[in-house]
Structure 1
Amino acid sequence: MTQRLTPGGQGPARRPGRRSRAAPPRTGRPVARGAEVKESAESGRSANRPAARRAPVRRTNAPQPRRFTGRATVLVVVLIALALGYTYPVRVYLSQQSDIARMEQAQADQRQRISELNEQAALWKDPKYIEIQARKRFYMVKPGEVPLVVLTDPDGAARDAGVPPEAGESQPADPWYDTLWSSIQAADAESDR
Structure 2
Amino acid sequence: MTQRLTPGGQGPARRPGQRSRAAPPRGGRPVSRGAEAKESADTGRSANRPAAARRAPVRRTNAPQPRRFTGRATVLLVVLIALALGYTYPVRVYLTQQSDIARMEQAQEEQRQRISELSEQAALWQDEKYIEIQARKRFYMVRPGEVPLVVLTDPEGAARDAGVPPDAGKSQPADPWYDTMWSSIQAADSTETRK
TM-score with structure 2 setting the length: 0.58
Structure 2 match to 1:168? 172
> What is the RMSD of the two structures over their aligned residues, measured on CA atoms?
3.4
Please name the residue that 1:9 is paired with. none
Q: Which runs of 5+ in 2 are unaligned?
A: 7-11, 24-31, 46-53, 175-195
Where in structure 2 are the equivalents of 1:127-142 lying within 5 Å? 127-142=128-143
Cα distance in 2 between the residues matched to 1:150 and 1:59: 114
User: Residues 104-123 of structure 1: CA distance to partner in whole angstroms, max 9, x if unpaired?
Assistant: 22222222211211111111
Q: Which moved more, 1:101-110 or 1:65-74?
A: 101-110
Question: Are residues 99 and 17 of structure 1, via their aligned partners in 2, closer, same or farther at CA, if it must alter by over 3 Å?
Answer: farther
Aligned partners of 2:40 and 2:21: how far apart in 1?
11
Which amino acid in the other structure matches residue 111 of structure 1? R
TM-score (norm 1): 0.59
Separation in structure 2 between the aligned mates of residue 22 and residue 97 of structure 1, nearest angstrom: 75
**Partner SS state of residue 46, structure 1:** helix
How do residues 57-136 of structure 1 correspond to structure 2 at under 5 angstroms?
Answer: 60-136=61-137
Secondary structure, counterpart of 2:40 in structure 1: coil
Q: Which runs of 5+ in 1 are unaligned?
A: 1-15, 25-31, 171-193
Q: State yes or no: 1:48 paired with 2:39.
A: no
Q: CA deviation at 1:19?
A: 3.3
- In the alignment of these two chains, the number of paired residues is 142
Helix, strand or coil: the match of 2:42? coil
Residues 113/48 of structure 1: CA separation in 2 closer, same or farther (3 Å cut): same
CA contact (8 A) 2:136 2:142 kept: yes
What does residue 147 of structure 2 align with?
Answer: 146
CA deviation after TM superposition for structure 1 residue 47, in Å: 3.5
Distance in structure 1 (CA, Å) of the matches to 2:21 and 2:114? 111
Corresponding position of 2:5 = 19
What is the one-letter code of the residue matched to 1:160? Answer: A
**Percent of aligned pairs with the same amino acid:** 66
What is the alpha-carbon distance in structure 1 between the residues aligned to residue 138 and residue 173 of structure 2? 32
How far is the alpha carbon of 1:84 from its aligned partner? 1.1
Question: Displacement of 1:159 after TM fit?
Answer: 4.8
Structure 1 position 129, deviation (Å): 0.6
CA distance in 2, matches of 1:92, 1:109: 26
Do residues 157 (structure 1) and 155 (structure 2) align? Answer: yes
Trace 1:174-189 onto structure 2 (pairs within 5 A): none
Give the partner amino acid of 1:49. Answer: T
Higher Rg of the two aligned structures: 2
The CA distance in 2 between the partners of 1:140 and 1:76, in whole Å, is: 84
